[in-house]
Chain A
Amino acid sequence: MEFWTEIGLPAFALPGLLNYWVAIILMMIGFYTVMAHENLIKKVIGLNIFQAAVFVLYISMAKVDGGTAPILGDDIEVYSNPLPHVLILTAIVVGIATTALGLALIVRIRDAYGTIEEEEIRAAEQEAGT
């Protein structure tokens, strides 16, 4: 911990907050990919990373110090909060549905335009428009 303060960074408790930092970094990587890439498949990948970051955020919140998995057992007394796990199961299903629909749309876009690059689609539209 002292190492971070010595080099001038805020003294965040690494083990405790690491998950949150990872979540934020993943979120930004995903968000950037969605916005910056011209390729539609890469946009969908970015969207997936973005959503996965939210899953990490939820799962990290559920962790109870020293807790085990929330399952039935004789010697289990402290266990993680199962509710966020269940919520994320639902969110994963939603994410898969979104990905599937996005990819299906990309297939149809490729059939219609012959490309999945936004720039080329725009060019094809302008050509058709004039």
Chain B
Amino acid sequence: MIFSHIPVLQVIVPLVAAPLCVIFPFRKFCWTVALAATLTSLWIALTLLITVYAHGPITYELGGWAAPWGIGYRIDILSAYMTVLVSLISSVILVFSPRSIGAEISNARAHLFYTLYLLNLTGLLGIAVTGDAFNLFVFLEISSLSSYALIAMGQDRRALTAAFQYLIMGTIGATFYIIAVGLMYAMTGTLNIADLAQRLPEVMETRTILVALAFLIVGIGLKIALFPFHGWLPNAYTYAPSVVSAFLAATATKVAVYILLRILFSVFGPDAVAAMPIAQPLMILALFAMTIGSAVAIFQDDAKRLLAYSSIAQIGYIILGISFLSVTGLTGGILHLFNHALMKSALFLSLGAVFYRIGSVQISDMAGLGRRMPWTMAAFVVGGMSLVGTPLTVGFISKWYLIRAALESGWWPIAVLVLASSLLAMIYIWRVVEIAYFRGHPEAGADIKEAPLSMLVPIWFLTGANIYFGINTGDTITAARAAATMLLGGPQ
């Protein structure tokens, strides 16, 4: 009975839990509620994934109103994959959060952090499960508004300006999105993604739809932080509280990529996308993002800012995979979407532990940390290796697919660029490693202790996942390939 309502519970559980934290503003209580809600979401997401695997896509009508009038949820393999990713990462980060939040956010506002965190999760999960283009906008704004507030909780006053800048850019992006949805509605009379896919081909050649597509790509590009729309990202990730950086880097941009995939392949369909000049510009932007993001990361003094620029580069890889419009490329892109979430959350969380102990993430302050916090820094090194793409880590698998896709299409210079930008990643990770392990007096900072176990366990859970999925690659590749095949199979 309740089982049939599982798709909507995915969204309702965190949504209902969020106000509880405002009504009962007790830190421990809020943390417990938030953790219970995210773990329930994770369980629901896994149930959905298993059901989708066994029986194909699930549709759900909100309030029993059928699709053209009511809002329909539709969960296929890609959305199930996204809900698992988002709820898994958010659960792990919540386990990590109590001490980090205690150190970075004042006691009076800690309960609001959990409220915003749950609202953000609601928005991200909602985007993944909804089958309605306008409903997607509402969830996008729920997650965006809460993320602006989360970023503004950072200690540094620059967190405020970073949040404001993101608010302006994010709102422009989201407004572009509704302009496009409005134009598509004007031409087709529907907001349902499946119906849109059916009715769009008739009007595909009209200027209205072309304008809509342009608005969509720019609007979603702002949310993805695709080069050159990435301006808001470095400051936002640098000055946000550590857990927020980890959460946003691992989930928010990934869900924005999911929106792009949905729009390009489920709404417009692969044939229309291939016929229009979309893939080439995206590919060029992706190549710029990869090289410039990595190159700029090398020159950063703040480790969080370094990871932020690296995120811009990694988003480039994901978009590159998508822009091949081939099964291998799309598999690589979707794999990298999952893998990058694992790497970046592990890396940002280990920086969170560093900040908890030494109160800074300036690379120069990290001298000798390899000795003082061996487990934390080891996790950083493994995460970094995954970012570079060393074999036996997840980063290798996705880059392997990207390079294969480039060679399949006969574009070997792109394969070379992927490798070159991996070398750049090696340089910026090495800068941190060198200072942490080979600099500083052996006696210096003897009072710095290893991070507490409550932080190490989540960090190593994610780091372990980086290695596990790097060796045992079957499941993720099967899922990513299934999603890629489904997307390229055209609207269903």
Contacts and interface: CB of A to CB of B under 8 A. Distances in A.
A54 B182 contact: yes
A47 B168 CA distance: 8
A125 B239 CA distance: 14
Interface of A: 31, 34, 40, 43, 47, 50-51, 54, 57-58, 61, 84, 87, 90-91, 94, 97-98, 101-102, 105-106, 108-109, 112-113, 121, 125
Interface in B130-174: 134, 137-138, 141, 145, 148-149, 152, 157-158, 160-161, 163-164, 167-168, 171-172, 174
Given A57-B179, A61-B186, A102 B141 contact: no
B65 to A, nearest CB: 12
Interface in B109-141: 134, 137-138, 141
A40 B164 contact: yes
A113 B138 contact: no
Given A54-B178, A61-B186, A97-B145, A105 B164 contact: yes
24 contacts: A31-B172, A40-B164, A51-B171, A54-B178, A61-B182, A61-B185, A61-B186, A84-B182, A87-B191, A91-B137, A94-B138, A94-B141, A97-B141, A98-B141, A98-B145, A101-B145, A101-B167, A102-B164, A105-B148, A105-B160, A105-B163, A106-B164, A109-B157, A121-B161
Majority secondary structure of chain A interface residues (helix, strand, loop or mixed): helix
Interface residues of B, number: 26
Contacts of A34: 168, 172
Interface of B: 134, 137-138, 141, 145, 148-149, 152, 157-158, 160-161, 163-164, 167-168, 171-172, 174-175, 178-179, 182, 185-186, 191
Contacts of B152: 105, 108
Given A61-B186, A112-B160, A43 B141 contact: no
Given A61-B185, A97-B145, A109-B164, A54 B157 contact: no
Contacts of A90: 134, 138
B123 to A, nearest CB: 12
Given A94-B137, A102-B167, 11 more contacts: A47-B172, A54-B175, A61-B186, A84-B185, A90-B134, A94-B138, A101-B149, A105-B160, A109-B160, A109-B161, A121-B161
Given A84-B182, A87-B134, A105-B148, A113 B157 contact: yes
Contacts of B148: 101, 105
Contacts of A113: 157
B143 to A, nearest CB: 12
A109 B162 CA distance: 10
Nearest to A87: B134
Most chain B CB within a 10 A radius of its CB, from A97, A98, A113: A98
B445 to A, nearest CB: 25
A61 B145 CA distance: 28
A106 B157 CA distance: 12
Contact of A125 (B137, B138, B158): B158
A92 B137 CA distance: 13
Nearest to A51: B175
A108 B175 contact: no
A22 to B, nearest CB: 15
B145 A91 contact: no
A39 B408 CA distance: 51
Nearest to B181: A87
A91 B175 CA distance: 9
A53 B348 CA distance: 40
Contact of A47 (B163, B171, B182, B191): B171
Contacts of A87: 134, 191
